[in-house]
Structure 1
């Protein structure tokens, strides 16, 4: 056997051994390296609540209560699902006062962008001895949570199949779960916003008249082509 044939066989053997080292990734068991499988994010429903104390005889909402309701309304608009429920105490000495401030609650929520058709009202039984039974605001939202990180059980030395460690991708999944605005987006996509009918009609009218349908831009518009290199 001449030298060229021996070199050729040697190269083929090295190539086969190299491919064999990666062959584990073709198996069913060792192909599951997607972090969504190894470190899945759980999305579960939860209830956000805000208690507003209304002592007997209180004429209306305090400034601090209005601010708290405004923040609660912002949270509802960002990640709330279903109605925002306003629960008033029944049977407590302050029940009449709690009912009397409902108008202030509605006005504050409306100022925060929560329309009246998004509200639901319900009473709840309160103790006759509770003079400060709260008025409770609540809505359903979703919470995302990934698994606990820190699994360093696999020894990196001697791993001839070059597989990923069990902790791989865990931090990324936890960061995603913490940062996502509305975890419900991980369950199903949001509905599309309505089309801009006025703009659509404007474009169609220009098209029919043979005019340019592009938006007029000036040098001050963001995204204009730079003239530095010209």
Structure 2
């Protein structure tokens, strides 16, 4: 009888140890693996700038400057937040020329869809010896940065816990950080654009008349790659 009780106690101890092992295996860090927590993407505020050198007497923007301003305007429309600020030099020999070029800059920005309401102006003190003090364009943007990959400290040949390795999901997070159009979208969702009232009225009118509300499809919408077998 004593041997039987001892044996039962041994079984209970073994069972308890087994449960504790299972509890460790199914812990929150292992069972609820979240790649965004292990390899987070940091979203940081940054300032994009474009310097346009203006020698004294320059009447307006050069062709190369117009190309640069156009590209900068495209970046602002895609990822800019807040106003696009234009800083003009004050106290330098080219201050007058910079003011004259400012009109060309505004026109170049307007051609690329950046209206005057989106612009802000501010002077800055330039050195009296700086004959080509630049006109500075700047705007606030966000940049995304993921964690570094390459942690091979864990051996994959003997993993009895069966948990993801340290690098799991790291490449995906880095690719996402590099591809996202505007990292600010990772901080909060964008506001919804207004509804298309004209399209809504068209659909409702067709629905009332019992007509199809679907958009007309053409041959290009068939999804067929080739018509050889037809």
TM-score with structure 2 length normalisation?
A: 0.84
1-structure distance, mates of 2:205, 2:30 = 58
5+ residue gaps, structure 2, are 1-18
SS of the aligned residue for 1:101 comes to helix
2:115 counterpart of 1:118: no
Distance 1:21 1:82 in 2: 54
Q: Deviations over 1:68-127 (max 9, x none)?
A: 000000111111111111110111110111011111101100111111111111111111
CA distance in structure 1 between the aligned counterparts of 2:38 and 2:145, rounded to whole angstroms: 14
1:66 matched residue in structure 2 = 66
Give the equivalent residue in structure 2 for 1:222: 221
- SS state of the match for residue 221, structure 2? coil
Whether 2:40 is the aligned partner of 1:51: answer no
Match of 1:75 in 2: 75
Q: How does 1:208-219 map to 2 (within 5 A)?
A: 208-218=208-218
1:1-230 equivalences under 5 Å are 24-218=24-218, 220-223=219-222
Give the CA RMSD over aligned residues.
2.5
Shift of 1:207: 2.9
Deviations 1:30-61, CA, capped at 9 Å, x for gaps: 33521101110100000000000111100110
1:3 maps to none
Q: Where in structure 1 are there 5+ consecutive unaligned residues?
A: 1-18
Task: Provide the secondary structure at the position in 1 that maps to 2:30.
Answer: helix
Alignment length (residue pairs): 212
Distance 1:72 1:157 in 2: 51
